[in-house]
Every structure is written in structure tokens, then in C-alpha cells.
Structure 1
């Protein structure tokens, strides 16, 4: 199910180097129409950028919130949002696959992630949600939770992969 992007407005996506991407986000405390509009804006922005997920700090808001629309490795589509998410499990096999980020457009690097993840949090009404993902969807959940802790996926890279990523980032326009 695709989110109705006609309800949302596009917001500029912050690029690596923006200090907001390196700061741990604050919990959402108010569940109201403004939060629902923000979620609509985040979906519209994510879809416009052809992304699988988007965290609030990527559009300049230090709030613990992300949206997602991606498939797992079995082709099942997952669409939703999580307010005040907590990554309660990241386990299983570690798979290294190409990963990208809307805050580092055009760059993809082999990134290790667990093949299974569980996130607990709230929906826009403040009701509890529990999301479990495998494969690519688990990767997405881990990636977005990292954003809310002030971490970018390239921070998890090691060795020559990390050096290559840092060189590419420095050389980017």
C-alpha cells in the first residue's frame, strides 16, 4: 500500500555534514494533527527522493520518528512509520550488501547488517507498534534507528571499505 503523497509537502533532505545528522534525536511528546502532517511530509519527501526510509533528522527535525516503504527479501512490502522507535533486536546472520542513504545521494557501499530486526515504538496516535523485519527490511529498520542516534551508515564501515567511502565523500561535489 503506497502512502498518499498528495497529502504531504516536500522538505529538503539534509546532507552529510549537517550537524543534525550527528545528534541524537529527542522523543516525540505530542501526538496531534501536526505529527500526522509531518509523517505525510516525510512520506512525500521519501518517495520524491526514491528512498526506502527517511528519519526526521534527515529533514532537519530532531525527533525520534521515521517512515519506511520497502520490501523484505521475500518480496513482501512494508509501509509505515514508527514514533520513538527502539531497536529491541538485531540478530541472525550478518549480511554485507550495498547500502545507500538519502543524505549521501548517489553513494552506495557494502555495509554489514543483521538479517533480522525488531523495532518497538508508537504510531501517530500514540498506540504501541512492534515491527519485525528480515533481509532488506531489517536493514532498513536498523539504518533508520541508527539515524535517530546520530549515526550514518558509513560509520559502521571498517578497513578499506571505510577508507574508500571517506575518500568518495570528500571528493563529492
Structure 2
């Protein structure tokens, strides 16, 4: 499913959008569904990709740049210039796999903090692409994890809310200048 939106995978001196950080209320507001996929949405997608590549990220959700729309860009192949990014508009997870995996996650909204999070290893997803066409996708491994991480952002959830090791979480946040008071714990399985 190659995207028709291609952006050079490079750092820009001045990315087009500002990334919001842990503690900023905009990160906790749920995103709204996108009614129609038009040129304005495609412009936002390009700006999001440029911002994500500039920050060395593999995923970015619109709420992270202060846009409250159900829009996500993901690229797990930063080292392959020809590999297209994944554009997810109004994504919905239809099914999770039964197997769980714990792995380290980081977030452009909490730079420098990397902690273990447990998530389902596989998923099935329905979404619209950058042309507004309905699509489905089965994902596993890093892609499945990135999709779940970014979809959390659409609901005002950050990966630190899912970290079980509170001691490690508190230490890492403090080291990077973030406050534990901005974490909103989520029960496992939620």
C-alpha cells in the first residue's frame, strides 16, 4: 500500500510543527474523527512527516503537534529512503492477538525516556489512507507496537501511563526533567 505522499527522510533545521511535551494539556485531549480527507489533511500529513523525521521518530500522532484529529504517521524503516511511511486516518483496532510482549518504548513528547511497556504482539487495523480509501492491515512486532503507542495518543494516553515499574518511571522522568505528577496510570488490559 504505497502512499502517494512522499517526504524526504531528513532532518530540517526548522521543522514545520512544534512537538508538545509531557505536562502539556493538549496531549490529554481526545482527537476527533476526520470527516473528509482533503488537501488540508494532506498538508498536515506532510508537515507531520517532516517533523517526525526531523526528531528521529518512527511515529507521530496529530495530538502531539497540537492538532486534535485522528491522524497518525509511522515509518519503522528510517534507513530505507524508498520505503513509504504508513498514514493512518481514523484508525480502529479490530482485533488484538493473544500473545503479549514487553519491550522498551520512547516518545517524541517525552524525549530521552525509554521504559518497558507490555502490549499485544499482533493486531488487525481498519483505517483510511491519505486518499480517504478504507484499508485494513495486519501488523506485528515493532509496527504493531508503534500503532498501539500512537493510537494511545489519539485517546490522550501516553506510554508512561502504561509503565508498570513505578520506581524506574519516576527515576527516568526526573533524570530528564519531567514530573511524575503528569502520569495518569492505566490498569493493565485497558
Relative to total residues, which structure has the larger helix share, 1 or 2? 1
How many residue pairs match? The answer is 165
Task: Describe the superposition over 1:6-55 as per-residue Cα deviations: whole angstroms up to 9, x where unpaired.
Answer: 8x952111101111111111111132111101000111111111111100
User: Are residues 1:104 and 2:107 paired?
Assistant: no
Deviation at 1:133, TM superposition (A): 0.8
Residues 130-139 or 51-60, more deviating:
130-139
Partner of 1:134: 140
User: Are residues 1:164 and 2:168 paired?
Assistant: yes
Q: Does the residue aligned with 1:11 lie in a helix, a strand or coil?
A: coil
User: Are residues 1:30 and 2:36 paired?
Assistant: yes
User: Are residues 1:39 and 2:45 paired?
Assistant: yes
Relative to total residues, which structure has the larger strand share, 1 or 2? 1
The TM-score with structure 1 as length reference comes to 0.87
Task: Describe the superposition over 1:62-107 as per-residue Cα deviations: whole angstroms up to 9, x where unpaired.
Answer: 1101000015xxxxx6721111111112223211111111101011
Residues 55-64 or 163-172, more deviating:
163-172
The TM-score with structure 2 as length reference comes to 0.79
Q: What are the residue-to-residue correspondences of 1:11-160 with 2, within 5 Å? A: 11-70=17-76, 79-158=85-164
Q: Does the residue aligned with 1:92 lie in a helix, a strand or coil?
A: coil
Moved beyond 3 Å, runs of 4+: none
2: distance between equivalents of 1:157 and 1:23? Answer: 20
Q: Pairwise CA RMSD of aligned residues?
A: 2.1
Structure 1 gaps, min length 5: 72-76
Counterpart contact for 1:5–1:40, Cα < 8 Å: no
Q: Does the residue aligned with 2:106 lie in a helix, a strand or coil?
A: strand
2: distance between equivalents of 1:117 and 1:3? Answer: 26
Counterpart contact for 1:154–1:162, Cα < 8 Å: no
